[in-house]
Amino acid sequence: MPRLVSFAVFFATWWIASLLAGDAKLPPPPTVLAAMLVEAKSGALFLNLGVTLARVALAFTLAMTLGAAIGYLMGRVRLADRLGDPWLILLLNLPALVVIVLAYIWAGLTEVAAIAAIAINKLPTAVVTLREGARALDAALDEMATVFALPRARTFRHVILPQLAPYIAAAARSGLSLVWKIVLVAELLGRPNGVGFEIGVAFQLFDIPLLLAYSLSFAAVVLVIETLLVQPFEARLSRWRPRAA
Amino acid sequence: MRLDVDIASKKFRNAAGEQHEVIAGLAFALDAGEVGVFVGPSGCGKSTMLRILAGLDHDFQGRVVRPAGARIGVVFQEPRLLPWRSVEENVRLVAPLADEAKLSALFEILELGAHRKHFPGELSLGLARRVALARAFAIEPDFLILDEPLASLDDALAVRLRDQIAMLVDGRSVMTLLVTHDVEDAARLGDRLFLLSPRPARVVAELPIGTPRRARGDAEIAAIKSDIMRRIDGGLTERDA
């Protein structure tokens, strides 16, 4: 219910703003909805959303898997931390645009280049978060596992992974939002389809309803994923925590 | 099956870089089925000794011969349960082969039957300790280590848990090493008592008790207690109130 109120306030603000700013600068919701319907009927909307989502999924999975593995290693092994730290700082501070442009120059305007560039942008933040998680692992529980001679796989699954879960969830959430943003830049610069490409087209034609139609459809998809996937996952992971009254 | 311990020295370096000797010349032996109780003042190095015996700390001078291939069960001072696993899962995790009948019997003795599905965060300290005990016994250990299993429990609860420990230890004659600062626990649970000096720890006296645990009357317990107190010259306190 509070969510619905929140949505209503959003649309009301938008409508009022469009009345004040004029249709040319900010079209009201019905105009944008009409543009959305046109794109949906032609099938372009779903195609572009699907392509962008696929890129997000691939880049996100790649970055999270690699980032989690590297971060865990750096948190557990001192030498790995020493060796990896300068690289990490470099990657963290490398602007997304530089990575994308270089990837396109070196690997051509290809799908591989786009996904690799997006993944590289996300990788360091996943590493940093998971490294923090690995550093915070409880030594007392490690000792318990050692004394009771738990096999490695079981220790990892039942002792280590649950401790890392909040860090994985945090990395996933911040990672998703980062990947959403960067994927559009990568598409704008070097892909022939996707939400980013369409927004680029709309920008060149000054077609504001089209621009907003794609932006908002995309935002809606993100919201659905967050509500249906990320939040239930987090709730399940923390079900053992005593609830606050 | 025999435990042979001769720790010549164990030192720690603190943050300021100074070395502290925690154990100096601690030697003893324990036979199969024997319950050895270590009594010593707080901070004398008992927990350090247990870590070495459990195989968690290899950085010491001396030698520890554990029975080869022995399964070790440990009850740490803090229960060290996995907060994200239920009571039953915590026990089954270390003892995947334990069958239902044995686990039920164990939960029965420790009065945990009603708490199987609870998470450790929902348990009191006394209950969590009992889960830790259940976990240690579930693996049917050859060598059991108990680090102050009755500390910070109220008297009535401590007495009950002490009886339960005695029952479990007698039920399966297992080599047991129990550490406590409470002479009452020592007199009631031990087959062989070792009195430790203040830090750096060494064995000051060894007191074998001939009478089996169950046959000890109040008069005999009192006699053992006063014997302990006399030997350590009142350096130890009764259970913290």
| Closest Cβ–Cβ partner in A140, A147, A154 for B93 | A154
**Helix residue spans in B110-240 (DSSP H):** 125-138, 155-171, 183-189, 218-231
Strands (E), B40-191: 61-65, 72-75, 143-147, 175-180
| Closest Cβ–Cβ partner in A143, A149, A159 for B82 | A159
For the segment B227-235, the average pLDDT, to the nearest whole number, is 72
| Closest Cβ–Cβ partner in A143, A147, A162 for B84 | A162
Domain extent for B62: 2-70+142-231
CB contact under 8 A, B121 and A241: yes
CB contact under 8 A, B55 and A154: no
Read off the pLDDT band of B233 (50, 70, 90): low
| Closest Cβ–Cβ partner in B74, B78, B84 for A147 | B74
CB atoms within 10 A of CB A179: 23
Is residue A11, in this structure, part of any structural domain at all? no
Is residue B26, in this structure, part of any structural domain at all? yes
Which of B93, B122, B177 is best to mutate for the A interface (most A CBs within 10 A)? B93
pLDDT per residue as tens digits for the range B40-62: 887 788 888 888 998 888 888 98
CB contact under 8 A, A144 and B74: yes
Per DSSP, the three-state class of B203 is strand
Q: Is-contact A182 B107, C-beta < 8 A?
A: no
Q: Is-contact B42 B181, C-beta < 8 A?
A: yes
- Identify the closest residue of chain A to B71 by CA–CA distance: A148
Asked if the model's pLDDT at residue B238 lies above 50, the reply is: no
Which of A137, A141, A142, A143 is best to mutate for the B interface (most B CBs within 10 A)? A143
Task: Please report how many Cα atoms fall inside a 13 Å half-sphere around the Cα of residue B203, on the Cβ side.
Answer: 19
Name the minimum distance, in Å, from the CA of A125 to any CA of chain B: 26
Tokens of A219: 């935002």
Closest C-alpha among B151, B141, B137, B173 to residue B53: B141
Name the minimum distance, in Å, from the CA of A66 to any CA of chain B: 26
**Residues belonging to chain B with any Cβ–Cβ distance to chain A shorter than 8 Å:** 51, 54-56, 71-74, 76, 78, 80, 82-85, 93-94, 119, 121-122, 135, 139
Asked if the model's pLDDT at residue B18 lies above 60, the reply is: yes
Closest C-alpha among A105, A161, A102 to residue A133: A161
Is residue B219, in this structure, part of any structural domain at all? yes
The pLDDT, as a whole number, for residue A121 is: 92
The pLDDT, as a whole number, for residue B241 is: 36
State how far the Cα of B156 lies from the Cα of A138, in Å rounded to an integer: 32
Q: Is-contact B165 B133, C-beta < 8 A?
A: yes
State how far the Cα of B195 lies from the Cα of B207, in Å rounded to an integer: 8
Domain extent for A92: 46-237
DSSP symbol at B120: G
Note which residues in 83-142 of chain A have CB less than 8 A from chain B: 140-141
- The CATH number given to whatever domain includes residue B155 is 3.40.50.300
CB contact under 8 A, A146 and B56: yes
Which of B74, B77, B78, B84 is best to mutate for the A interface (most A CBs within 10 A)? B84
* CA dist list (Å): A193 to A53, A96, B19, B30, B69: 12, 20, 67, 76, 64
DSSP symbol at B201: B
* Total number of domains constituting chain B: 1
Helix (H) or strand (E) holding B79: none
Q: Is-contact A163 A137, C-beta < 8 A?
A: yes
State how far the Cα of A45 lies from the Cα of A56, in Å rounded to an integer: 16
Residue A154 sits at the chain B interface (C-beta within 8 Å): yes
CB atoms within 10 A of CB B238: 11
| Closest Cβ–Cβ partner in A144, A241, A242 for B80 | A144
Is residue B83, in this structure, part of any structural domain at all? no
Helix (H) or strand (E) holding B81: none
Residue A206 sits at the chain B interface (C-beta within 8 Å): no
Cβ-defined contacts of B99-106 (< 8 Å, 24+): B102/B138, B103/B138, B106/B134, B106/B137, B106/B138, B106/B168
The pLDDT, as a whole number, for residue A38 is: 92
Asked if the model's pLDDT at residue B185 lies above 90, the reply is: no
CB contact under 8 A, B74 and A148: yes
Residue written as token pair 């003795």:
B109
Asked if the model's pLDDT at residue B240 lies above 70, the reply is: no
Phi-psi region of B140 (alpha: psi -120 to 50; beta: other; left: phi over 0): left
For the segment B200-227, the average pLDDT, to the nearest whole number, is 84
Show pLDDT as tens, one digit a residue, over chain A (245 residues).
788 899 899 999 999 999 998 888 899 999 999 999 999 999 989 999 999 999 999 999 999 999 999 999 999 999 999 999 999 999 999 999 999 999 999 999 999 999 999 999 999 999 999 999 999 999 999 999 999 989 999 999 999 999 998 899 889 888 888 898 899 999 999 899 999 999 999 999 999 999 999 999 998 988 888 888 878 887 777 777 766 54
- Identify the closest residue of chain B to A162 by CA–CA distance: B84
Asked if the model's pLDDT at residue B178 lies above 70, the reply is: yes
Question: Higher pLDDT residue, A222 or B1?
Answer: A222
State how far the Cα of A145 lies from the Cα of B142, in Å rounded to an integer: 17
Is residue B104, in this structure, part of any structural domain at all? no
pLDDT per residue as tens digits for the range A83-92: 999 999 999 9
Which of B94, B97, B140, B144 is best to mutate for the A interface (most A CBs within 10 A)? B94
CB contact under 8 A, A141 and B80: yes
- The CATH number given to whatever domain includes residue A55 is 1.10.3720.10
Is residue B152, in this structure, part of any structural domain at all? yes
Name the minimum distance, in Å, from the CA of A150 to any CA of chain B: 6
CB contact under 8 A, A240 and B119: yes
Is residue A30, in this structure, part of any structural domain at all? no
Name the minimum distance, in Å, from the CA of A133 to any CA of chain B: 16
b vs e for B118-153, b when ≥16 Cβ sit within 10 Å of the residue's Cβ?
A: ebbeebeebbbbbbbbbbbbbbebbbbbbbbbbbeb
* Total number of domains constituting chain A: 1
Contacts of B115 (CB under 8 A, 6+ apart): B87, B123, B127, B131
Residue written as token pair 């690997």:
A107
pLDDT per residue as tens digits for the range A110-161: 999 999 999 999 999 999 999 999 999 999 999 999 999 899 999 999 999 9
Is residue A19, in this structure, part of any structural domain at all? no
Per DSSP, the three-state class of A127 is helix
DSSP for A184-208, please give it: HHHHHHH-SSSHHHHHHHHHHHT-H
State how far the Cα of A240 lies from the Cα of A96, in Å rounded to an integer: 38
